[in-house]
Amino acid sequence: EVQLVQSAAELKKPGESLTISCNGSENTFSNYWISWVRQMPGKGLEWMGRIDPTDSYINYSPSIQGHVTISADKSINTVYLQWSSLKASDTAVYYCARRSRSDYYYYGLDVWGQGTTVTVSS
């Protein structure tokens, strides 16, 4: 079964740094792009950005660019989402998800991680 496995839930204080991770198979990271999606409590889905794990080319959403960093380590098939200074408004569930790099059709995000809950509170 194809899986994306995310790191465990985090409880942090405002101003602290944090990195969460998303691990998949070698096949996934060779043939798919990985997106991060945020879901704030009781709210809808928000696309944050995507990375090509083979060359680390990234597209960010303008709404989050500059506040988070997306990166990848293709040697261990892992993608990261990083904050240098958390805010209370970063409290959310964060999902990673893969999308085929094929342009034959407009493919969607077909495999999702289980989600990482990040709580930022003083």
Choice from 45, 57, 85, 87 touching another protein (CB under 8 A): 45
Which part of the chain contacts another protein (CB under 8 A), choosing from 11-19, 23-31, 70-78, 104-112? 104-112
Choice from 59, 69, 91, 119 touching another protein (CB under 8 A): 59
66 part of the interface to another protein, by CB under 8 A? no
C-beta closer to another protein: residue 63 or 82: 63
CB 103 within 8 A of CB 84: no
Choice from 41, 44, 75, 122 touching another protein (CB under 8 A): 44
On the CB side of 109, CA atoms within 13 Å amount to 16
- Could you tell me which residues come within 8 angstroms of residue 116 by beta carbon, excluding any fewer than 6 positions away? 6, 7, 8, 9, 10, 20, 93, 94, 95
Choice from 19, 27, 114, 121 touching another protein (CB under 8 A): 114
Residues that bind another protein (CB under 8 A): 35, 37, 44-47, 49-50, 59-63, 95, 97, 99, 105-110, 112-115
